[in-house]
Amino acid sequence: MWIDTHCHLDAPEFAFEVGEVVARAKGAGVHRLVLPAVGEEDWDAVRELAHAHDAVYALGVHPLYASRQSPDVIDRLAEALERHRADPRLVAVGEIGLDHFVPDLDHDLQERLYLEQLRLARRFELPVLLHVRRAVDAVLKGLRRLEVPGGIAHAYNGSEQQAAAFGSLGVALGFGGAMTFDRALQLRRLAASLPLEALVLETDAPDIPPQWLYKSAAQRALGDTHRNEPAELPRIAATLAGLRGMAVEELAAATTANAHRVLPRLAALEAAAR
């Protein structure tokens, strides 16, 4: 059984078939989805989806959505975390972090919201789901300054040294569709060589499609889709198992245990369901 530690089930691409998407995931052996929010506009949606589809969720503000939020969004996030703190399906603060790849973003605003959300994670004793794009050292700097109860660095693409730094802070590393591309040599090397206890699996659905779903810009312009789904996770996992030369069943057990370690509320929810 698999855990998709990063899936945007509330995305518009899934709007008219959420039930079918979840059913396909469960049919493929993906028994739990972690649904991170990207801004206040979807806090209610991810919570409702988690309760409707036996998933779990996180509340936060994504750096790409920072400029769309109200000036008091941190106060409103604190209120939401307080209001739902007893909800066993609320497992983290996220998706939060820094994005230094997309041009013309307000880096000062990103930094402020990131640090303030780390403070909330400390206050509510929750791990974090981290967006880290061309900003690994800056994200690590924040974590060292405001240490939180661990979490996951989503779509990891840093160095081995940076991976070790995340590990020392109790943060696991998310691997997904990007790892399946033959040309992703550095990422595949990391997937094969990093300690097994550092790894969790994700799809980032509907984004970051694996190689077998990828469509070129020309194909997409003609209407072809390369929408990713959580049901793709077992095949993504098989790629990782192949890179590491290990049995798929062993990888499933290890990555599930890793997800439980860094998301304790998820572990408690699953223990209660047994």
The radius of gyration of the chain from alpha carbons, rounded to an integer in Å, stands at: 17
Rounded Cα gap, residues 206 and 218, in angstroms: 19
- Size of the chain in residues: 274
Contacts 24+ apart (CB under 8 A), 176-179: 176/6, 176/201, 176/202, 176/203, 176/204, 176/208, 176/210, 176/236, 177/203, 177/204, 177/208, 177/209, 177/210, 177/211, 177/213, 177/228, 177/232, 177/236, 178/208, 179/236, 179/239, 179/240, 179/243
Domains and CATH numbers, the chain: 2-273 (3.20.20.140)
pLDDT tens over the chain, length 274 residues: 899 999 999 999 999 999 999 999 999 999 999 999 999 999 999 999 999 999 999 999 999 999 999 999 999 999 999 999 999 999 999 999 999 999 989 999 999 999 999 999 999 999 999 999 999 999 999 999 999 999 999 999 999 999 999 999 999 999 999 999 999 999 999 999 999 999 999 999 999 999 999 877 677 656 566 799 999 999 999 999 999 999 999 999 999 999 999 999 999 999 998 8
Q: Which residues pair with 154 in a beta bridge?
A: 131
Instruction: State pTM to two decimals.
Output: 0.96
Q: Tell me the one-letter amino acid at 151.
A: G
